[in-house]
A and B are shown apart, each in its own frame.
Chain A
């Protein structure tokens, strides 16, 4: 149990385009989902926290207009990187929190912006 999936696992896009990443909790309902970014050899940095049906709470320094988060249901959250640039290339990981506030991580999405 407690499986979190992400789609796609790897995406390459051109500079200036937008990319959507999906995060799904497959066997539980996630009241809260978290989005992290991880650069090579670096730690996971929390970008934002989203609660189902509410606006996401962004960490300091994360542009909410650039990283759009939608948490429309208890099993799905999406992160859209708008007008992506090469510096947005990174490993994006989501986690989903169950009713006991246990966090389970997805497998990550590698974004490469050319």
Chain B
């Protein structure tokens, strides 16, 4: 069993739709959760990070963490064609400013159609 599971998609939605992206994980030691966006043939860029359970909002993006269920989500409101990319969840043990390797999900390929 992989430590982090993510549906690879592809996921296709019309412009303006609300997108829900999810990851599950098995290691309860993970404390710090991140979402990255990766455009084709580019490196990942950090979208959001959250520590432990709860919600965090940044513009059209909302990240949720439910540690009791070992489940994290990223919601994108009013999706735009420019949001079309692969979204990767990542997590690590320890806090934001602590070292340690990131464990990535497989990534979900999202396509937002005009």
Which positions in A face B, CB cutoff 8 Å? Answer: 4, 6, 32, 34, 41-46, 49, 91, 93, 95, 97, 100-108, 110
Which residue of chain B has the shortest Cβ distance to A4 in the bound complex?
B43
Measured between C-beta atoms, what is the minimum distance from A84 to chain B in Å? 20
What are the interface flags for B36-51 relative to A under an 8 Å C-beta threshold, 1 for contact and 0 otherwise?
1000011111100000
| CB atoms of B104 and A43 under 8 A apart | yes
Find chain A residues with CB under 8 A from B8 CB.
41
Of A45, A49, A104, A107, which contacts B42 at CB under 8 A?
Answer: A107
CA distance A45 to B90 in the complex (A): 11
Q: Is the CB of B98 within 8 A of A101?
A: yes
| Nearest chain B residue, comparing its CB with the CB of A91 | B41
How many whole Å from A44's CB to the nearest CB in chain B?
5
B61-114 residues with Cβ-Cβ distance < 8 A to A are 88, 96-102, 104-107, 109
Complex formed: what's the CA distance from A97 to B46 in Å?
13
State how many angstroms separate the Cβ of A52 from the closest Cβ of chain B. Answer: 14
Residues of B within 8 A of A105 (CB): 36, 43-45
Judge whether A44 and B101 touch: CB under 8 Å: no
Query: How far, in Å, is B59 (CB) from chain A's closest CB?
Result: 20
Q: Which of A6, A34, A41, A104 contacts B101 (CB 8 A)?
A: A34
**Bound CA–CA A95/B101 (angstroms):** 11
30 residue pairs bridging A and B, Cβ less than 8 Å apart: A4-B43, A32-B99, A34-B101, A41-B107, A41-B109, A42-B106, A42-B107, A43-B6, A43-B88, A43-B104, A43-B107, A44-B104, A46-B102, A49-B101, A93-B44, A95-B43, A97-B99, A100-B96, A100-B97, A101-B96, A101-B97, A101-B98, A102-B96, A105-B36, A105-B44, A106-B43, A107-B42, A108-B41, A108-B42, A108-B43
